[in-house]
Amino acid sequence: MAIGHKKWAQKASKKMEEKGTVGSFTKQSHSAGYSSPLEYARHVMAAPEGEFSPTTRKRAGFAKNINK
């Protein structure tokens, strides 16, 4: 898990920097009234499909996976 996981996370981080989306999910979670992006990610993933945009669901899944 260590080597593959690290490279995966580094690639994702680099891609987020290139797209300029670093911190977008954190900002969105704070706007929704959550103090923790991970708590907001759990809320988003537990919500029925269609309640949140596909982009928000992808970001929530990423937040949950990166915090394992």
Domain residue ranges in the chain:
26-68
Per-residue confidence band for 23, with pLDDT thresholds at 50, 70 and 90? confident
Running DSSP on this structure, what letter comes out for residue 52? S
- In angstroms, the first-to-last Cα distance of the chain is 12
Q: What is the per-residue pLDDT for 27?
A: 84
- pTM exceeds 0.85 for this model: no
Please state, rounded to an integer, the average pLDDT across all residues of the chain.
Answer: 79
- Tell me: the pLDDT tens digits for 35-44? 888 899 999 9
Per-residue confidence band for 31, with pLDDT thresholds at 50, 70 and 90? confident
Cα Rg for the chain, rounded, in angstroms?
A: 12
Q: What is the per-residue pLDDT for 54?
A: 92
**40 neighbors 46 (Cβ within 8 angstroms):** no
